[in-house]
Amino acid sequence: QVQLRESGPGLVKPSETLSLTCTVSGDSIITYYWSWIRQPPGKGLEWVGYIPYSGSTNYNPSLEGRVTMSIDTSKNQFSLKLRSVTAADTAVYYCAREILYGNGCHFDSWGQGTLVTVSS
């Protein structure tokens, strides 16, 4: 059974770059798509973007220009970088496995989530 685990700093200063890594176990990262999803405290879910092993990314347009995702097949990890963060980027960040098909997709496995707070 696939397991995902997020890691990275829990506190980031405004205007700096948020960096998170997701380590995948129990499945090869060269299959499926791999996503980041975030949830501000007390609010709903927001998709950040996905990356397949080929590296062809797709990002939420609302974050376009600030977000970069990368994948390291040798470590079975994928990563998120979000630049120029503000307090509005404070959220629990989840990594998830995305199953993508014709006119739909779903997320069948999620990490436990990591809270990232943007504050000076």
* Binding-site ranges for other proteins (CB under 8 A): 35, 44-47, 50, 58, 60-61, 94, 98-99, 101-108, 110-113
Question: What CA–CA distance (Å, rounded) separates 14 from 2?
Answer: 34
3 or 17: CB nearest other proteins? 3
Q: What residues are paired with 12 via a beta bridge?
A: 118
By the 8 A CB rule, do 69 and 51 touch? yes
Minimum Å gap between C-beta 110 and other proteins is 4
Based on CB atoms, which residue is closest to other proteins, 41 or 120?
41
* Cβ–Cβ under 8 Å, residues 4 and 91: no
Closer residue to other proteins (CB): 32 or 47: 47
